[in-house]
Amino acid sequence: MALTSSVKEHPYSHLIDTLKDGSLKFFNPHKLNDPRYEKLPLSIRVLLEAAIRKCDGFYVKEEDVQNILDWQQQQNVAEVPFPPARVLLQDFTGIPAMVDLAAMRDAVAKHGVDPGLVNPVCPTDLVVDHSLQIDFSKCAIQNAPNPGGGDAQSQAQGPSRSTPSRPLSRGGSHCGGQRGSCSKASCSDPPSSPGRPPTSVQQIENTPLLCPFHLKPVSEPETNLKNQEMELIRNKERLQFFKWCSKAFKNVNVVPPDVGAVHQVNLEYLSRVVQVDGGLIYPDSVVGTDSHTTMINGLGILGWGVGGIESEAVMLGQPVSLTLPQVVGCKLVGSVNPLTTSIDIVLGITKHLRQAGIAGKFVEFFGPGVSQLSAPDRTTIANMCPEYNATVSFFPVDHVTLKHFEKTNSSQEKLGLLESYMKAVKLFRSYEDPSEDPTYSEVIEINLSSIVPHVSGPKRPQDRVAVSSMKEDFQKCLNEKVGFKGFHISKEKQETEVPFLHCGQEYRLAHGSVVIAAIISCTNNCNPSVMLAAGLLAKKAVEAGLAVKPYIRTSLAPGSGMVTHYLNTSGVLPYLSQLGFEVIGYGCATCVGNTAPLPEAVVNAIKQGDLVACGVLSGNRHFEGRLCDCVRANYLASPPLVVAYAIAGTVGIDFEKEPLGVTSEGKEVYLRDVWPSREEVQQIEEDMVISSIFRELRERVEKGNTFWSNLECPDSVFFPWDHKSTYIRSPSFFNKLSKDVQPPQSIENAHALLFLGDKVTTDHISPAGSIARVSAAAKYLLSKRLTPREFNSYGARRGNDVVMTRGTFASIKLHNRFIGRPGPKTLHIPSGQTLDVSEAAERYQRDGIPLIILAGKDYGSGNSRDWVAKGPYLLGVRAVIAESFEKLHKNQLLGMGIMPLQFLPGQTADSLELCGKEKFTITLPDDLTPRQELTVKTSLGQCFCVTALFESQMDIVLYRHGGLLRYVARTMF
């Protein structure tokens, strides 16, 4: 929003303040001089600032501003608008939105309007990350005599359905001459050490891939190139369209494929905390079509996930409508237990919030304990919103946030501006100062010291054991009867020890002895902090003179090369290796039973003493006997605890009272002596990991990739539609678009397309997933000479209105009372024929017959889908009469010009004795008003009233125009 003369007429222009010697201006809600402002939760202050800045008397009114300011009284009551600073799209949901804008350019040009004026009003970032499919893959190399893990012919992978017939080689005696091969002509030479490459050589991210035979650089991973090629071939039309959008539209930023997942790109590259536009500075905020959008709240940026239609509406300038939320204050107090990892904290807080019953509410964190959480901790907690059903989990900006952005290559000038602005509008927090605490709807207090580290076992992942109780719990397991926790070892045998020789030295095994210790960086353990903690613990242990007994089968299987990269750059990888935790490859290993055999002497000792030997791993599966048939007790633990138990050599240890080990000089070393502090871990995480990840991502975004750079696209204002395309078509939303708005037309002699019951979900309405071979959409694609293998999915074809319209109501689980059994069929009432829903709709439209839908309770419940209203609109549906509507879906219908009509209380289709085969006439007055009662008459003589669910004049305006798209187009005439 530029500061032009229109700002002088702004109802809140008196709140404008300046920064940086007057070069930047901002709306300062603090200048309202209203004591209620400083008591508002900071997340609500973001809503208030946006309402003040965007107050235009139409979308956002002064009444809305006052309602937000009066949050304490209006929470959970008032409906308020929220105009976010930007929109985040992934490609599946982004393509229909951009197709609509391209079609809008064609429509306005027909009326003599400059098509270049059609652009998103709200800045939009579109990340192409949902196109990649795994057509090719390779297994991790572990103890293999060659790169493929076996004979080339026996291991070759046949072509997948959508790939060329030439098989992809998975190994063999030759690697020169293959893409991704080393420079040697043959790989028949043995590796430099028997069975596997030298353990001193680690594959590091951002360094050339090494051929495991010759340790020569490989040009690029073959599977990566192959999958990129297939992505380009399969999605070429869509990618060309996206590239055209990036050039043709203002306010659109397209992040090309192979950069990163949408939520990570948002977190690591697109987030700004504050936006500067036209000399105006204001808070960053976002709505996105990705379920992980809530991660951004961990950085003090308000944002949440929405559906495709809602995001498109925001792009076109319409704010998000929401009931002013209750805000639960989550007060963090106490000090984190020294042994507690970030994952322990995240899961502990998630558990507390899940039990608190906070569905649909905002959560805002405060209290002195918040300062102990790093930025990655906060974003991980914010990302867990779906687990405890909150809308957002908001962490206001503080010094930790500033430190995070400092490490992500933000300039000092930007950081200074960010801090000055956030403090000026009271959006900056000092969590240690209770005088800054706002008033919340309710407060949940969580004592961080109560969150203690756990392990899970010995047989099931759900059986959690506090580390402090581990020794006692294992003893109970020995005593209990055989079951989920018990082994039933007699008292006289519980002290059994069995001596054995390993590499010429005698050792002793007992119940609880650790024989397998594996660090696996998958699931939650991909958090850098826990892997770094393991590495720092190893470093301190080695420096203290501790070691892991050589018979324990240790391993390190990072989830990706990036893990190896930051372990190496932080200097801890050699210490892990010294304790036996060497990188064995990238892939599933120990937790799926791929552990190398235990030494024979160890196996014999276990069997001789009938010992309950133990495995400790940081994976997510550990059922009895899974790691090794002679290892009965297996525990899941965080990576640093895996290292600790490996050094201790037993799970039967109380870390508080017993030493972790004894040095060669006889000095006792306790776990507390070598356990890294959270400050140490966070410092290295910020310095080594975060800055490296952000730097790499920025380089990838700014540099792009060869595929995207070489991709040709039209250089034109209009998109040149290819009428042969089955992926992208110009939709018919703007057909017969006139300059003048006609008065609302009564719906006369309409037929019911469908007669539905209760709880019709968006899954029933909107197409999703694969395209069934016998569906109406399949018939269309077959007519275009595509084979079933080429159908792809509804998601991939969201830019084709014909496919999506034919898929509407195509769910095999749709219960239509006209048919009496589940299926995507309906009754064409004039002919009495049972047809596909889309085919029946085509006949009605050809005959000029308007359509309605009859439904029961909770029509349109479930997740938002971008075609839940577009599809019915193109089928010719003019109104839906239901007992009740999901609020979000009701708004979606209005946004497409379909009337949501509600039976009066106590009335239903059955109570009114409607059979659905009647003709319906709905009379509309010239002047519609919100929640007006309308009269419905049927051809069989029934007459009843319904409530038109227009909640505001804006709803009526959109309906009169035939929906939001047509309204926006007309504003340009």
Read out DSSP for 478-536? HHSPSSSS-----GGGTT-EEEEEETTEEEEEETTBEEEEEEE--GGGGSHHHHHHHHH
**What contacts 883, CB < 8 A, 6 or more positions away?**
758, 855, 856, 857, 859, 902, 903, 908
Query: What is the CA angle 530-536-540, rounded to 5?
Result: 145
Which residue, among 958, 931, 959, has the nearest Cα to 945 in the 3D structure? 931
Distance CA 108, CA 733 (A): 12
The parts of the chain modelled with pLDDT lower than 70 are 1-8, 129-234, 258-268, 409, 521-527, 559-562, 585-596, 619-628, 697, 704
Q: How far is CA 285 from each of CA 288, 293, 294, 439, rounded to the nearest angstrom?
A: 10, 11, 11, 22
User: Parallel, antiparallel, or unpaired for β 553-557 and 302-305?
Assistant: unpaired
Do residues 808 and 840 make contact, with C-beta atoms less than 8 angstroms apart? Answer: no
Which residue, among 316, 123, 321, 319, has the nearest Cα to 970 in the 3D structure? 316
Sign of CA dihedral 386, 387, 390, 395: negative
* Beta bridge partner(s), residue 921: 937
Distance CA 101, CA 746 (A): 30
Residue type, 362: F
Do residues 647 and 514 make contact, with C-beta atoms less than 8 angstroms apart? Answer: no
Whether the link from the prior residue into 458 is cis, omega within 30° of 0, is yes
Radius of gyration over alpha carbons of the chain, in Å? 32
Which residue, among 675, 548, 560, 540, has the nearest Cα to 616 in the 3D structure? 548
Sign of CA dihedral 816, 820, 821, 827: negative
User: 528-543 and 639-648 are packed helices; what angle lies between their axes, rounded to 10 degrees?
Assistant: 30
What does the pLDDT read at residue 609? 94
The token duo for 164 is 């060329």
DSSP character for 469?
G
Q: How far is CA 967 from each of CA 171, 518, 531, 739, 839, rounded to the nearest angstrom?
A: 60, 61, 53, 10, 29
User: Parallel, antiparallel, or unpaired for β 614-617 and 661-662?
Assistant: unpaired
Q: What share of the chain is helix, strand, coil (3-state, %, to 5)?
A: 35, 20, 45
Residue type, 485: K
479-485: long-range contacts at Cβ-Cβ below 8 A with a sequence spacing of 24 or more?
Answer: 484/459, 484/460, 485/458, 485/459
Collapsing DSSP to helix, strand or coil, 450 comes out as helix
Collapsing DSSP to helix, strand or coil, 660 comes out as coil
- The H or E element that residue 474 is part of is helix 470-479
Instruction: Give the count of beta carbons closer than 10 Å to the beta carbon of residue 126.
Output: 26
Sign of CA dihedral 927, 930, 933, 939: positive
Collapsing DSSP to helix, strand or coil, 803 comes out as helix
Distance CA 10, CA 471 (A): 69
Q: How far is CA 110 from each of CA 105, 106, 716, 896, rounded to the nearest angstrom?
A: 9, 7, 17, 22
How would you label 5-18 residue by residue, b for 16+ Cβ within 10 Å and e otherwise? eebeebebeebbbe
Do residues 229 and 131 make contact, with C-beta atoms less than 8 angstroms apart? Answer: no
Q: How far is CA 63 from each of CA 8, 55, 57, rounded to the nearest angstrom?
A: 20, 10, 9
256 φψ region: left (φ > 0), alpha (ψ -120 to 50), beta (else)? beta
What does the pLDDT read at residue 220? 41
Distance CA 792, CA 796 (A): 7
pTM over 0.75? The answer is yes
* Beta bridge partner(s), residue 25: 18, 280
* Beta bridge partner(s), residue 90: 127
Burial class (CB in 10 A: 0-12, 13-18, 19+), 143: exposed
- The H or E element that residue 366 is part of is strand 362-366
Query: What is the CA angle 491-497-498, rounded to 5?
Result: 135
Do residues 110 and 971 make contact, with C-beta atoms less than 8 angstroms apart? Answer: no
Collapsing DSSP to helix, strand or coil, 823 comes out as coil
Do residues 669 and 662 make contact, with C-beta atoms less than 8 angstroms apart? Answer: yes
The token duo for 404 is 């995070």
**What contacts 409, CB < 8 A, 6 or more positions away?**
691, 694, 695, 698
What does the pLDDT read at residue 239? 86
Do residues 790 and 782 make contact, with C-beta atoms less than 8 angstroms apart? Answer: no
DSSP E strands, 783-822 = none
**What contacts 613, CB < 8 A, 6 or more positions away?**
509, 513, 514, 515, 602, 606, 630, 631, 632, 633
Distance CA 142, CA 242 (A): 41
- The length of the chain is 973
What does the pLDDT read at residue 333? 97
Instruction: Give the count of beta carbons closer than 10 Å to the beta carbon of residue 322.
Output: 17
Distance CA 757, CA 52 (A): 43
The token duo for 30 is 């603090």
What does the pLDDT read at residue 148? 28
DSSP character for 650?
B
